[in-house]
Chains A and B, each alone.
Chain A
Amino acid sequence: MGLLSIIKKVKKKEKELRVLMVGLDNAGKTTIVKRINGEDISTISPTLGFSIKTMQYKSFRLNIWDVGGQKSLRSYWRNYFEQTDAMVWVIDSADIHRMLDCRDELHNLLKEEKLAGATLLIFANKQDVGGALSDKQIEQVLELSAMGTRHWRIAACSAVTGQGLLEGIDWTVADVKSRRFLLG
Chain B
Amino acid sequence: MADRASTDDLGQAIEAADKVWSVSHVEEAGELNSLAETAAADPLEAAVTLLPRFRQILSKYQEQSQLLDPHLPSLVTTLARPLQQQAHSQERSSTAPDLTLVCNICRLLWIIATVRGPGVVLKLFPNEAHDLEPVTHLLLSLTELEADPSGSNTSAAAAALADDDPIAWEARCVLLLWLAQLVLIPFDLALVDSSLSSAAPDGSNKITTPPLIASLVQWCQAQLAAPGKERDLAAVLLGRLLPRPDMHQALAGFLGWAAESVDAKSNPQAAFVLPGVAAAMAEVFKQGQRRPLLSIAPEALGLTLQLLASRAVQSSVITRKLTVKLLQRVGLTHLPPREPTWSHQQEVDESADESDFGDEEEIPEEVEEVMGQLLECLGDKDTVVRWSAAKGLGRITARLPQELGDQVVASVLATFDPLAASEATWHGGCLALAELARRGLLLPHRLEEAAHIVEQGLVYDVRRGLHSVGANVRDAASYVSWACARAYAPAVLHPFLTRLAPTLIIAACYDREVNCRRAAAAAFQEGVGRQDSFPHGIDIITAADYFSLGVRSQAYLTVAPCIAAYPSYRRPLTTHLLHTKLRHWEASLRELAAKGLGALALGEDQQDGMMLEECVPCLLELCLDQSLEVHHGGVLGLAETLLALSQKGTKLSEHRLSAIAELPQKVQQARFLAGKGQELMRAATCRLLECTALAAVSLTEAQQRCAHDIIDDCIASSSDDISTAAVAALHAFSRQYLTAAPDAVSSAESQAAGSSCTLKYMGGLKPTQPPPVRRGYAAALGALPRHLLVTRREILMEALGAATKIEEDPAASRLQADVFVPLLSAMHDYSTDNRGDVGSWVREASMGAMTQTLLLTQQLLVASNKAGASTQGNILQSLVPLVIAALVKQSVERIGRVRGTAAVNLHKLLTHQPALPCIPAVQLLTAAVHEAREEAAAGSEDLSARVGLLGAEEPLVRESVLEGLIASIGGLDGSLSNAASSALTAWLRPPGATAGAMQQRLQSVVASLLTIWGRHATSQRMALPLLRTADLLFAQGRLEELGGPHIGEMLGLVVEGTRGCRDVPRLCTAAGVLTQMLNVPEDESLQTMATEAMLKLITCPFPKVRKHAAEQLYVALLAIDPSQPAFAEGDVEAAQEQLAETAWDGPLAEARLSAQQLRSMLLAAPGA
A residues apposed to B, CB below 8 Å:
1-4, 6-7, 35-36, 38, 48-52, 54, 56-59, 61, 63, 67-68, 72-73, 75-80, 82, 113-114, 116-117, 128, 148-149, 158, 160-163, 165-166, 182-184
Q: By the criterion of a CB under 8 Å from any partner CB, how many residues of chain B are at the interface? A: 62
Given known pairs A2-B472, A49-B129, A149-B339, the reply for A75 and B10 (CB within 8 Å) is: no
> Which of A54, A76, A114, A128 contacts B245 (CB under 8 A)?
A76
Q: Which residue on A lies nearest to B483, using beta carbons?
A: A184
17 more A-B contacts (CB under 8 A) besides A113-B336, A117-B339?
A2-B472, A2-B479, A7-B482, A36-B14, A38-B11, A72-B187, A78-B289, A113-B290, A116-B337, A128-B3, A149-B351, A165-B10, A166-B10, A182-B345, A183-B438, A183-B440, A184-B483
Which residue, of A76, A116, A117, has the highest number of chain B Cβ atoms within 10 A?
A76
Q: Is B816's beta carbon under 8 Å from chain A? A: no
From known contacts A49-B186, A73-B186, A161-B3, infer whether A56 and B21 are also in contact, taking CB-CB under 8 Å. Answer: yes
User: Contacting A50 at CB < 8 Å: which of B186, B338, B476, B519?
Assistant: B186
Q: Which residues of A contact B290 (CB under 8 A)?
A: 113-114
| A contacts with B: majority SS | mixed
Q: Find the A residue at minimum CB distance from B20.
A: A58
- Whether B15 contacts A38 by the Cβ 8 Å rule is yes
Cβ-defined partner of A79 (8 Å) among B14, B244, B286, B291 = B244
CB of A183 within 8 A of CB of B11, answer no
Q: How far is the CA of A116 from the CA of B438 in the complex (A)?
A: 19
A166 in contact with B13 (CB, 8 Å):
yes
Distance of A12 from chain B, by nearest CB (Å): 8
Q: Tell me whether A52 and B127 are in contact in the complex, defined as CB-CB below 8 angstroms, given that A116-B339, A184-B483 are known contacts.
A: yes
Q: Which residue of chain B has its CB nearest to the CB of A113?
A: B337
Q: Is the CB of B486 within 8 A of A3?
A: no
Closest to A182 in B: B345
Instruction: Report B-chain residues with C-beta under 8 Å of the C-beta of A59.
Output: 21
B128 an interface residue at 8 Å Cβ cutoff? yes
Bound CA–CA A149/B356 (angstroms):
11
Indicate if B33 sits at the interface (CB-CB under 8 A).
Answer: no
* Distance in Å: Cβ of B84 to nearest Cβ of chain A: 15
Residues A4 and B127 in contact, CB atoms below 8 Å apart: no
Chain A to chain B: the 3 pairs with minimum beta-carbon distance, closest first = A76-B186, A162-B10, A3-B519
User: Could you tell me the distance between the alpha carbons of A3 and B435 in the complex, rounded to whole angstroms?
Assistant: 12
Taking a contact as CB atoms closer than 8 A, the residue among A38, A79, A184 that contacts B184 in the complex is A79
CA distance A4 to B11 in the complex (A): 39
CB distance from A72 to the nearest CB of B (A): 8
Chain B residues with CB under 8 A of A48: 128-129
- Whether B187 pairs with A4 at a CB distance below 8 angstroms is no
Sample (8) of A-B pairs whose CB atoms are under 8 Å apart: A38-B14, A58-B17, A58-B20, A79-B186, A113-B337, A148-B353, A165-B10, A183-B440
CB-based nearest B residue for A38? B14
Taking the complex as formed, is B287 at the interface, i.e. its CB lies under 8 A from any CB of chain A?
yes
Q: Is the pair B9, A162 in contact by a Cβ cutoff of 8 Å?
A: yes
- From B127, B185, B486, B518, A184 is in contact (CB under 8 Å) with B486
Known: A50-B184, A149-B351. A114 touches B289 (CB 8 A): yes
Q: From residue 69 to 124 of chain B, which have CB atoms closer than 8 A to chain A?
A: 69-70, 73, 123
Q: Which residues of A contact B287 (CB under 8 A)?
A: 82
For residue B640, CB closer than 8 A to chain A, the reply is no
Interface mask (B272-291 → A, CB under 8 Å = 1, otherwise 0): 00000000000000110111
Residues of A within 8 A of B387 (CB): 1
A183 to B439, CA, bound (A): 6
User: Known contacts being A148-B353, A166-B10, A184-B438, is A77 close to B483, with CB within 8 Å?
Assistant: no
> When chains A and B are docked, how far (Å) is the Cα of A48 from the Cα of B129?
8
B885 at interface, CB cutoff 8 A: no
Chain A: CB-nearest residue to B523? A3
- Taking CB atoms and an 8 Å cut-off, the chain B residues in 267-324 that contact chain A are 286-287, 289-291
Taking CB atoms, residues of chain B closer than 8 Å to A78 are 245, 289
Q: CB distance A50 to B185 under 8 Å?
A: yes
Q: Which listed residue, A1, A77, A114, touches B186 by the CB 8 Å rule? A: A77
**From residue A77, how far is it (CB to closest CB) to chain B in Å?**
7
Contact of B128 among A35, A49, A79, A162 (CB under 8 A): A49
B69, B186, B351: most-surrounded residue (chain A CB, <10 A): B186
Cα of A163 to Cα of B479 in the assembled complex, Å: 45
Which chain A residues lie closer than 8 Å to B21 at the CB level? 56-59
Q: Which of A58, A128, A160 counts the most B-chain CB atoms under 10 A from its CB?
A: A58
Which of chain B's residues 556-574 have a Cβ closer than 8 Å to chain A? none
Q: How far is the CB of B984 from chain A (nearest CB, A)?
A: 49
Which chain A positions have C-beta within 8 A of B22?
56
Partner among B3, B73, B383 whose Cβ is within 8 Å of the Cβ of A1: B383
A35 to B6, CA, bound (A): 13
For chain B, residues 427 to 464, give those with C-beta under 8 angstroms from any C-beta of chain A.
438-440
Contact B187 A49 (CB under 8 A): yes
When the two chains form their complex, are residues B522 and A183 in contact, meaning their CB atoms are under 8 A apart? no
Closest beta carbon of chain A to B460's beta carbon, Å: 14
The interface residues of chain A lying within 8 Å CB-to-CB of B1008 are none
B135 to chain A, nearest CB (A): 14
Q: What residues of chain A lie closer than 8 Å to B338, measured between beta carbons?
A: 116
- The answer to the question of B592 belonging to the interface, with a C-beta cut-off of 8 Å to chain A, is no
Say yes or no: A162-B6 contact (C-beta < 8 A), given A3-B475, A78-B245, A116-B338.
yes
Least distance between B756 CB and chain A CB atoms (Å): 60
Contact with A along B504-533 (1 / 0, CB 8 A): 000000000001001100110000000000
Most buried by B among A2, A158, A160: A2
